[in-house]
Amino acid sequence: MTTKPTKPGKLTRLHENDKNYPKVPSGDILEVFENKYPQRDYLITFDCPEFTSVCPVTGQPDFGKIVIEYCPDTYCIESKSLKLYLGAYRNEGSFAEQIVNRVLEDCVNACQPRSMIVTGHFTARGGIAIKVEAGYTADA
């Protein structure tokens, strides 16, 4: 993971039409804004219960829930840009394990938090549900 956070600029995603989902998930979609309370540890939780992706082998849709919990440092992730980023996975053929780790890497690269945990709860297919959790802690 890179150590250079994205610099906050204009929050352009807030003004975009919701129908214009990106075709491919990319960390460049994520936008950040300045944390007004960097002196304090606090937890931000994004709960995304309608996550969809595609199985890379069968092409069948996969459904799940992504939860992102993090303690911000200098920057916070803007939620609409996160929605657009996660929405792009519905075109992406990836396994659950890859998705969770990629979401973690992209979100950490965007905001450089003090810590972050990404959990994916994927709906059962073939009788087996999958839960994947990946974490990051900044070097002290």
d(CA 38, CA 27): 23
Hey, what are 29's tokens? 């979609």
Q: Which of 18, 28, 41, 62 is catalytic?
A: 62
Strands 44-54 and 61-71, by their bridges, are antiparallel
Strands 44-54 and 128-137, by their bridges, are unpaired
CB atoms within 10 A of CB 1: 11
Q: Which amino acid is at 92?
A: E
Active site residue 55: yes
Q: Which of 48, 55, 71, 73 is catalytic?
A: 55
Active site residue 62: yes
Side-chain half-sphere exposure of 84, counting CA atoms within 13 A: 24
d(CA 136, CA 1): 10
Residues known to be catalytic: 55, 62
